[in-house]
Structure 1
Amino acid sequence: MTEPSVDQSLFIIWSSSDPEVAHNLAFMYAHNSLAKGWWERVRLIIWGPSARLACEDAGVAAKLRAMIDDGVEVWACRACADNYGLSQQLEELGAQVLYVGRPVTEMLGQGWRQLTF
């Protein structure tokens, strides 16, 4: 399997703790982008307050698991998750929990497209 081209790769920083932003913006676009072939690769990054919502809202957690099952890569910022005491819960949810500062910088330098919600 070949790696998706960088110009067809999108990462989305999801930082909002508002469930409406999660369901009606970040998740809807991330999931549809991959399912409908708008992008070859989609990576959703849980960063900041969104980590709490991912762990505390069952509907949000279910949608994240569905996106992961459908091929959306879900990452979570380890520094934020550790600050909130949620690293283990995010890992159990299926997110890859890692320090994201350097990878985000690298993705930007490589030409990935980016959205923030």
Structure 2
Amino acid sequence: MKLVIVWKTANEIDINNFVVPYAYNSKKQGWFEDVEVLIWGASQEVVVNNSIVKQRVSNLIKNEIKVFACKMCADNVNATDVLESIGVKVFYTGQYLTDQIKDKDTEVIYL
């Protein structure tokens, strides 16, 4: 089964104590076969402006967790170039998210 985490919080306590650790451990502990993170909205600004969070996102990617970002959101907050530079795939995510929600073998959670 696949886990998709829609990460929308800009709260750094939640990011550092729940979003990133849960994504990482879901993959490393084998809780889910595949783990994907979709960075949406205000969370993109945190990734761009906080070097620790940026490094943690980069580490997720290095540990075989796919990390995506909504292009519309990224363009609106001038985050596209920075996100792409750390390995985040930036694209228009409406269809992707809809497909994940409809997939019976995928669990989508919003954090």
- In the superposition, the TM-score normalised over structure 2's length comes to 0.96
Return the letter of the residue paired with 1:113: E
Choose which of 44, 58, 83 in structure 1 pairs with 2:37: 44
Q: Does 1:98 align with 2:83?
A: no
Q: Which residue of structure 1 lines up, in the alignment, with residue 61 of structure 2? A: 68
| C-alpha distance in 2 between matches for 1:99 and 1:24 | 28
Percent of residue pairs bearing the same amino acid type: 29
Matched, 1:21 2:37: no
Q: Which runs of 5+ in 1 are unaligned?
A: 1-7
Secondary structure, aligned partner of 2:30 = coil
Count of aligned pairs between the two proteins: 110
Query: Following superposition, which runs of at least 4 residues in structure 1 exceed 4 angstroms of deviation?
Result: none
Query: Helix, strand or coil: the match of 2:48?
Result: helix
SS, match of residue 84 in structure 2: helix
Q: Post-superposition shift, 1:110?
A: 1.4
What is the rounded CA distance, in whole Å, between the counterparts of 1:46 and 1:55 in structure 2?
11
Unaligned segments of structure 2, at least 5 residues = none
